[in-house]
Structure 1
Amino acid sequence: MRRADRLFQIVQYLRGGRLVRAAQLAEWLEVSGRTIYRDIADLQSSGVPIDGEAGVGYLMRDGNDLPPLMFSRDEIVALVAGARLIRAWGGAGMARAAEEALVKIDAVLPSSIKLRTDEIEIHAFAPEMTPEVQKRIDRMERAAANRQRLNMSYLDAAQQSTSRTIRPLGLWFWGKVWTLVAWCELRDDFRMFRLDRIENLEDTGETFKPERGKTLTDFYRCMEDEGPGRR
């Protein structure tokens, strides 16, 4: 492990006000206690707010957090690629957040690494995405987070339209299609709805509470056992 990576790991272990002994850090990082003492001293001298002493332990107090010191090249690739995918395939709000995230990622990188973001030739294009579907992704994400019961008209695979009252639970992305995992009150069961087949969507003004047998955890259990219906 490079020394810079080791210093970063020490900061991660000390976040959140946890008291950690030098011997424990040495074991986790597979170095000597002497190396840990030297690293701690270097971090303290550079302004990292680490408290403690040898034989007692070290901690970084709550509220004294730091941005990441660095990213490896693979981490930069993963972050940039993920942000570009969301920018292309996510909701409108997600796309704006992904753009802001790329700016923040670039801001915390050392100048020696910063230029590499422009050299990552991973791009995503989504001509199938429409502004309506993008807005719907954001709306469904908020509805699931806030546990909002919704009314909708849905066009199934047989081109039959039905009116549903649903409890949004989560979103799945299948490469080109977003689906909503929900509890359907019409079918009294879990259903997965393609967002591009939703015709009309209305907020009922009501929220729902998690009920045994109707949560996202229960849905995953159903998927493992037999798989729920999807119409």
Structure 2
Amino acid sequence: MTRAQRLLTLIQILRNHRYPVTGAHLAGELGISLRTLYRDIATLQEQGAPIEGEAGLGYVLRPGFLLPPLMFSKDEIEALVLGARWVAHCGDEYLADAARHTLGKITAVLPEALRHTPDATTLLIGPSPERISGGADLAVLRRAIRAERKLTFDYRDANDACSARTVWPFALGFFDNMRLLVAWCELRQDFRNFRTDRIGKLSVAEQRYPRSRQALLREWRECEGIPPQ
């Protein structure tokens, strides 16, 4: 591994940790001495990487720092291409367009030796059921989740019973035959999943819901026994 590759790997390791990581742990992951690790940290800081911390306390990379997308391995490229193709094939109109544009941007910045890999990958997306139509506009749901806005809608359940709901949306689940909105329901005072094709008369409130979507997602995962991704 060249020093340039090691520095990029060090940044990636720091990005994978939300809390300070000791120098000994970082040095162990990279297979280098502590002295070399401290030298690498100093080099990255001099080049503008927002790494905070010091020897004996640990290091953390402040959120928002972006890596140049030029050092993907072939496995990483195939993973990105496969994911983008799935979204382009199975996502709603806006997500599909975003996936295609993303794939084009990734290809444009790859080194010449790897530029053919996206087109040559042998990982393919299989056929899926017909595109899901009707129900809630997924783009509206995503915007409400990002803005942490309450949603009000009419909902028809599996028994065709209708009810008016006000919910705090915080996640969308994409499945081959359905899309699920995950939210805290004020009516039930609990977490509920709503099939988006059964949602009608949707409106987004100006009012933000009282908790962050990250906190709701974390609590929902704990209730469902779902490990963090």
Common fold, TM-score beyond 0.5? yes
Structure 2: which amino acid aligns with 1:151? T
In the alignment of these two chains, the number of paired residues is: 198
Residues in 2 aligned to 1:24 and 1:157: alpha-carbon distance in whole angstroms: 51
Deviation at 1:114, TM superposition (A): 1.0
Structure 1: which amino acid aligns with 2:162? S
Output aligned runs, 1:11-160, within 5 Å: 11-13=8-10, 28-30=29-31, 57-58=42-43, 59=45, 60-62=47-49, 67-121=68-122, 122-123=124-125, 125-126=127-128, 128-130=130-132, 132=134, 136-160=137-161
Deviation at 1:56, TM superposition (A): 9.6
Could you list the runs of 5+ residues in structure 1 that have no partner in the other structure? 17-22, 38-52, 226-231
Rg larger for:
1
Kept in 2, the 8 Å contact 1:84–1:124? The answer is: no
SS at match of 2:86: helix
Pick aligned residue for 2:4 from 7, 13, 16? 7
The runs of at least 4 aligned residues of structure 1 exceeding 3 Å deviation read 23-28, 53-57, 62-66, 124-127, 130-133
Structure 2: which amino acid aligns with 1:129? R
Deviation at 1:107, TM superposition (A): 1.1
**2:205 corresponds to:** 204
SS at match of 1:69: coil
Residues in 2 aligned to 1:112 and 1:86: alpha-carbon distance in whole angstroms: 26
Kept in 1, the 8 Å contact 2:150–2:209? The answer is: yes
SS at match of 1:87: helix
CA deviation string 1:91-115 (max 9, x = no partner): 3322222111101110121222111
Could you list the runs of 5+ residues in structure 2 that have no partner in the other structure? 15-23, 51-64
Structure 2: which amino acid aligns with 1:7? A
**1:192 corresponds to:** 193
**2:18 corresponds to:** none
CA deviation string 1:94-151 (max 9, x = no partner): 2222111101110121222111211123135555224656x72221121112111111
Cα distance, 1:7–1:176 mapped onto 2, change above 3 Å: farther
Kept in 1, the 8 Å contact 2:7–2:40? The answer is: no
CA deviation string 1:55-91 (max 9, x = no partner): 9942321499761332211111100000111112223
Residues in 1 aligned to 2:181 and 2:225: alpha-carbon distance in whole angstroms: 18
Kept in 2, the 8 Å contact 1:88–1:124? The answer is: no
Kept in 1, the 8 Å contact 2:10–2:30? The answer is: no
